[in-house]
Amino acid sequence: MRAGETNRHLSGWLLASPLTLVLILFLVLPIAMIVVVSFWQATEFSIIPAFSWENYDFLFGSPVTYRVFGNTIKYALIVWAFTLGIGFTVAYFLAFHVRTQTWQIALFLLCTIPFWTSNIIRMISWIPFLGRNGLANSALISAGITDEPLDWLLYSDFSVILAFVHLYTLFMVVPIFNTMMRIDKSLIEAAYDGGASGFQTLTNVIIPLCKPGIMIGTIFVVTLVMGDFVTVRFMSGSQSANVGRLIQNDIALLQYPSASATAVVLLITVLMVIGILLRFVDIRKEL
Amino acid sequence: MRQGLDLELVGLTKRYGDTVAVDAIHHHFGPGVYACLLGPSGCGKSSTLRMIAGHETVSDGSIVLGGSDISYLPPAKRGTAMMFQSYALFPHLTVADNVAFSLKMKGVDAATRRKKAMEMLALVDMTQYEGRLPSQLSGGQQQRVALARALITEPQILLLDEPLSALDPFLRIRMRAELKRLQRELGITFVHVTHGQDEALALADEIVVMNNAVIEQAGSARDVFNAPKTEFVARFMGGHNVLALPQGRFAIRNDLTRLAPQQGAKLDGRVTSVEFQGAHVAVTILTAGDQDVTAWVPEAQFFSDPKSPGDGVGLSWDEQALHPLRA
Half-sphere exposure of A157 (CA within 13 A, CB side): 10
Side-chain-side CA neighbours of residue B220 (13 Å): 3
CA distance A132 to A149: 6
Pairing of strands B240-245, B68-69: unpaired
List Cβ neighbours of B157 (8 Å cut-off, separation of 6 or more). B4, B5, B7, B52, B65, B79, B80, B81, B188, B189, B190, B191
Nearest CB to B88; choose among A186, A195, A208: A186
Element (H, E) at A258: helix A256-280
**Dist CA A210 CA A189 (whole Å):** 17
> Chain A interface, mutation test: which of B49, B84, B147, most A Cβ atoms within 10 Å?
B84
Biggest distance spanned by C-alpha atoms of chain B: 80
Q: Tell me what pLDDT residue B66 has.
A: 86
Buried b (16+ CB within 10 A) or exposed e, B212-244: ebebbbbbebeebbbebbbbbbbebbebbbbbe
Name beta bridge partners: B275. B282
Chain A residues lying within 8 Å of B55, measured CB to CB: 189, 192-193
Residue A8, burial from CB neighbour count under 10 angstroms (0-12, 13-18, 19+): exposed
**With an 8 Å Cβ cutoff, are A184 and B75 in contact?**
no
Closest CA to A84 of A208, A178, A181, A215: A215
- Helices A207-227 and A243-252: crossing angle in degrees, nearest 10, is 20
CB contact under 8 A, A190 and B105: no
Arithmetic mean of pLDDT, B76-85: 90
Beta bridge partners of B260: B314
Contact yes or no for B139/B167 (Cβ under 8 A): yes
Handedness of CA A121, A122, A125, A131 (dihedral sign): negative
Give the dihedral of Cα atoms A162, A164, A165, A167; nearest 10 deg. Answer: 120
pTM of the model: 0.81
Its sign, for the CA torsion A89, A95, A97, A100, is positive
Pairwise CB contact (< 8 Å): A186 & B86? yes
Q: Decide if pLDDT at B1 tops 50.
A: no
Alpha-carbon gap: A93 to the closest alpha carbon of chain B (Å): 20
Residue type, A99: R
- pLDDT tens readout for residues B112-127: 999 999 999 998 889 9
Pairing status of strand B68-69 against strand B60-65: antiparallel
With CA atoms as reference, report the closest residue to B102 among B77, B65, B137.
B77
How confident is the model over B34-52, as a mean pLDDT?
92
**pLDDT-wise least confident of A75-79, A112-116, B164-168, B311-315:** A112-116
Q: Do B101 and A193 touch (CB under 8 A)?
A: no
Distance, in Å, from the CA atom of B188 to the CA atom of B46, rounded to the nearest integer, reads 20
* Residue A192 touches partner B, C-beta closer than 8 Å: yes
Torsion of CA A104, A108, A110, A113, to 10 degrees: -160
What's the rounded mean pLDDT across residues B298-308?
88
Question: CA–CA separation, B191 vs B160, rounded Å?
Answer: 6
Q: Average model confidence (pLDDT) for chain B?
A: 89
If you compute the radius of gyration of chain A from its CA atoms, what whole number of angstroms results? 24
Residue B167, pLDDT score: 85
* Ordered structural domains, chain B, with CATH: 7-226 (3.40.50.300), 243-324 (2.40.50.100)
> Strands B206-211 and B189-194: what pairing?
unpaired
Burial (0-12, 13-18, 19+ Cβ within 10 Å), B272: middle
DSSP secondary structure code for residue B320 in this structure: G
Burial class (CB in 10 A: 0-12, 13-18, 19+), A150: middle
CB contact under 8 A, A209 and B91: yes
Instruction: Please classify residue B290 by burial: count the beta carbons closer than 10 Å to its beta carbon, then call 0-12 exposed, 13-18 middle and 19+ buried.
Output: exposed
b vs e for B77-116, b when ≥16 Cβ sit within 10 Å of the residue's Cβ? Answer: ebbbbbbbbbbbbbebbbbbbbbbbbbbbeeeeeeebbeb
Segments of chain A with pLDDT less than 70: 1-5, 283-287
DSSP string across B198-225: HHHHHH-SEEEEEETTEEEEEEEHHHHH
> Which residue blocks in chain B are alpha helix, DSSP H?
45-53, 95-99, 101-106, 110-123, 139-151, 169-186, 197-203, 221-226, 231-237, 299-304
Assess contact for B234 and B240: CB atoms under 8 A: yes
First to last CA, chain A: 36
> In angstroms, rounded to a whole number, what is the distance separating the alpha carbons of residues A7 and A17?
15
Cα separations (Å) of A77 from A38, A64, A240? 28, 20, 16
Predicted confidence at residue B327, as pLDDT, reads 63
- Return the residue in A100, A188, A193 with the most chain B beta carbons within 10 A, the one to mutate for interface testing: A193
Q: Using DSSP, state whether B323 is helix, strand or coil.
A: strand
- Measured between alpha carbons, how far is residue A46 from residues A129, B218, B303 in Å? 44, 96, 108
CB proximity B136 to A under 8 Å = no
Average pLDDT (B5-18) is 90
Does the pLDDT at position B2 exceed 60?
Answer: no
Q: Which residues of A touch B99 (CB under 8 A)?
A: none
Restricting to B residues 83-112, those with a Cβ less than 8 Å away from any Cβ of A are 84-86, 88-92, 101-102, 104-106
Q: Which amino acid is at B7?
A: L
> In angstroms, how far is the first alpha carbon of chain B from the final one?
44
Is pLDDT larger for residue A42 or for residue B134? B134
In order of their start, the domains of chain A are: 63-286 (1.10.3720.10)
Task: Give the C-alpha separation, B244 to B45, whole Å.
Answer: 30
